Structure 1
Amino acid sequence: MQTLQLRLTKELIKKAQELVDQGLYSNKSEVIRDALRRLVFNEELKLKEKRSFLILFSSDFHGNIIQYKKFFIKAYEDKVDAVIIGGDIAPKDPKHRIIKQQRIFLEKHLIPLIKRFYNKNNKRNHACLTYLMMGNDDFKANMAFLEKHEEKTGFKIIHNKCLRLHENFKIIGYSYVPLTPFVYKDWEKLDLTNENEHIKRKGFIVEGKKSRGNHYIKVRFDLKKRTNTIERDLKRLLQCSSPSKTVMVIHAPPYNTSLDLASKGEHVGSAAVRKIIQEKQPYITLHGHIHETVDISKKFLESINKTICMSVGNDYMGENVAMIKFNIYNPASAEREVI
């Protein structure tokens, strides 16, 4: 502790002595220290309350254009500063679960919608970018097509990237999920580097197919070869930024939380995601993937130590869309709304 000499009026010294006489403080120095602490804290609090950068987040639209339109209307009306879409952007119904059909949806529907939103904001001199990534139901073969349009359309692809979001905040995106019971494996990986999936997961399959160009190739995961894992990827990505100033958009939610509950009440999130959150303590994490989790747990927000984790729990099957809005300077006050 350092010594600081102060010159105070007789009235202030008298007031300080009165507080000491009342037994509230042990001496006048303690009174002054406490007064300074309160002053600094209150000023910091006022500053935080004034600062604002609004984010609107959702995920798992699966090509539901009615939900998309509602989401972007809300973003425009609330004049948010950034829009984040956390994966599973293209249709997955039997008719459109084809590489070409998903690409047509991106070209004819999603990209024009984002461009109109971007242009409308430009006309009122309001900057608002859309940050998006694919999810496990999107074909990776269409990534090059999506990348071709991002600069001129008002969106940025965030998967496997570390980008500036606002001031000294950065945003990291990650699309991969642990092994699932489903056949399409473009965005699946082994989870932990040193633990076999059978310890925490049930019902997954190791054989499936991945998209290449306009066709598919067969794949099989070897559970013994654990060099290419979600855990390793996330550790590498976080090297680019200070975790305390990082918003991580990870399609899979952290394992064994209120954010990863499937229809039968089992936990199906990523153990690697949870491990990285516990070890690195990023500022905020945003998740999708498990549509029903919020309906089951009744929670969309959970703290893991200092990290605020949120899962939107959007059900693409209907017209109502779930979304989360929050101020980056006060994420604990985030609100989830279904429109």
Structure 2
Amino acid sequence: MGLQTKILFVSDIHGSEVVFKKALNASKMFSTNYLIFGGDIFSKDFILILKKGNILLTDDKEVSLNELEENYKTKGIAPLFFESKDEIDEFIKNQNFRKEKILDFVKGQADDWIKIYEEKTRNSDVKVIWNLGNDDPLELDDYLKEHGIDISEDKILEIGNDYLLVSCGYVNPTPWNTYRELPDTTLYNKIKDKLKKVENPEYAIFNFHAPPFNTKLDLAEINNKRVHVGSQTVRKIIEEYNPLLGLHGHIHESSATDKIGNTKIVNPGSSYKDGILNYSIILLEKESKGFGRVFFKKSEVKGISLGRG
């Protein structure tokens, strides 16, 4: 047996604190070396709450703090509080005000989660790698860095036994005009620029939020049909570079493993609205054999498993 590296890969938890905690707990329970977040970590869904003294209203219906907390902690539905209907109207009409309000909330969410992360990893050997996705505001990159969380987007990380992790949270265009979207041609140039520093792609792990087009990983439910919606660029890059492994997310209903050439790829999917953790455990193995001064190295994906709980 060669040198082994075990990875727990999780993506698209969208603000579910329950799922976030489960991911941190699972990384220790499965004795993994790395927990890698593939993007879309923080809340994307919001409920507008009008405060009238101690009464909380949404669409003129009273709602309890307990109900709001349950929906937030489990489903990631974030309550935004307003003092008047005029303020709610301003939120709906004014894009800049809406962006500021959402960003302020998500930064507060990040503060809370950093504390949870620090507490749960204090006595752990698991290394946690964060990357954001298309539904995470761009300003969060610098905000997390300022608070001690290193984002993998703009660097090549060496992990395990000389594996190189290349991350990209950007995706091909969606109908929702989210924060990190690029035309496939622009996305291609962005990723190619990252890969200039990768000399041996056979030891590379591509942590790209967008799944490659026309695979088991990119089938979305559209009008009761399963349609391929992944990135042509991501597929082309994988075909060109033949990395060891591809880690992907973005399409929640497309939990699967697949192959492009010799590259094994995985999307764990997401069931965050039910408070369920979808995950993949990947085991990598590296062997080195020598004959005098000549050494041969071989890395392979020994196993990929999908799970939920």
Deviation at 1:173, TM superposition (A): 0.7
**Alpha-carbon contact 2:37-2:131 (below 8 Å) kept:** yes
Deviation at 1:113, TM superposition (A): 2.0
Deviation at 1:232, TM superposition (A): 0.8
**Alpha-carbon contact 1:308-1:332 (below 8 Å) kept:** no
Q: Does 1:315 align with 2:271?
A: yes
> What are the within-5 Å matches in structure 2 for residues 37-48 of structure 1?
47-48=1-2
Q: Does 1:174 align with 2:177?
A: no
Match of 2:243 among 276, 282, 286: 282
Q: CA RMSD in A?
A: 1.4
Question: Could you list the per-position Cα deviations for residues 165-188 of structure 1 after superposition, in whole angstroms to 9, with x for gaps in the alignment?
Answer: 12311111101001111133x201
Partner of 2:195: 238
Partner of 1:190: 183
What is the SS of the residue equivalent to 1:183? Answer: coil
**Alpha-carbon contact 1:129-1:156 (below 8 Å) kept:** no
**Alpha-carbon contact 1:302-1:308 (below 8 Å) kept:** yes
Q: Does 1:334 align with 2:301?
A: no
Partner of 2:59: none
Match of 1:303 among 240, 259, 283: 259
Whole-angstrom CA distance in 2 between matches of 1:255 and 1:55: 24
Question: Could you list the per-position Cα deviations for residues 130-168 of structure 1 after superposition, in whole angstroms to 9, with x for gaps in the alignment?
Answer: 111111111112221101123xxxx53111321111231
Q: Does 1:79 align with 2:66?
A: no
How many residues align structurally?
A: 239
Partner of 1:136: 134
What is the SS of the residue equivalent to 1:277? Answer: helix
> What are the within-5 Å matches in structure 2 for residues 14-33 of structure 1?
none
Greater strand fraction, Structure 1 or Structure 2: 2
Partner of 2:159: 165
Partner of 1:117: 120
Question: Could you list the per-position Cα deviations for residues 238-273 of structure 1 after superposition, in whole angstroms to 9, with x for gaps in the alignment?
Answer: 221221111110000000111000013111100000
- Runs of 4 or more off by more than 2 Å in structure 1? none
Partner of 1:324: 280
Whole-angstrom CA distance in 2 between matches of 1:277 and 1:187: 20
Whole-angstrom CA distance in 1 between matches of 2:213 and 2:177: 22
**Alpha-carbon contact 2:284-2:302 (below 8 Å) kept:** no
Greater helix fraction, Structure 1 or Structure 2: 1
* Identity level (%): 29
Partner of 1:211: none
**What is the TM-score with the length of structure 2 in the denominator?**
0.74
**Alpha-carbon contact 1:169-1:246 (below 8 Å) kept:** yes
Whole-angstrom CA distance in 2 between matches of 1:313 and 1:190: 23
Q: Does 1:67 align with 2:53?
A: no
* Structure 2, gaps ≥5 residues long: 48-77, 79-100, 286-299
* Structure 1, gaps ≥5 residues long: 1-46, 122-126, 193-228, 295-299
**Alpha-carbon contact 2:242-2:262 (below 8 Å) kept:** yes
Deviation at 1:332, TM superposition (A): 4.7
Deviation at 1:331, TM superposition (A): 2.5
**Alpha-carbon contact 1:130-1:156 (below 8 Å) kept:** no
Whole-angstrom CA distance in 2 between matches of 1:107 and 1:52: 34
CA radius of gyration, larger in:
1
Partner of 2:150: 156
Higher RCO structure, 1 or 2 (CA under 8 Å, sep 6+):
2
The one-letter code matched in structure 2 to 1:119 is R
Q: Does 1:260 align with 2:188?
A: no
What is the SS of the residue equivalent to 1:101? Answer: helix
**What is the TM-score with the length of structure 1 in the denominator?**
0.68
What is the SS of the residue equivalent to 1:105? Answer: helix
